[in-house]
Amino acid sequence: MDYNSMSRTELESVLDHLQRNLEEMEEMIVFDYNFTSAHIGGHRVKKDEERLAKLKDEISRVQRLLYAKNGQ
């Protein structure tokens, strides 16, 4: 997604959306890992960790852009 061409308001909206997605994903993972009786393999754990890291990186990128726009 081309965040550079977005306005401050659009970036704030995207950031809010990404943060909600992160919270939901973390809640789902905690539930799956703690409250299901199914075995969760290492491959799935690694995949979940990668998805979380990617989402956190994207949040960080949007936050940096917002910070830069606030300085303008």
Which pLDDT score, from 0 to 100, does residue 32 have? 86
Domain ranges for the chain: 3-70
Q: For the residues of 1-63, what is the DSSP string, one character each? A: --GGGS-HHHHHHHHHHHHHHHHHHHHHHHHHHHH--S---HHHHHHHHHHHHHHHHHHHHHH
Q: pLDDT-derived band of residue 48, with 50, 70 and 90 as boundaries? A: very high
Which pLDDT score, from 0 to 100, does residue 54 have? 98
pTM across the whole model: 0.87
Q: pLDDT-derived band of residue 39, with 50, 70 and 90 as boundaries? A: confident
Which pLDDT score, from 0 to 100, does residue 72 have? 65
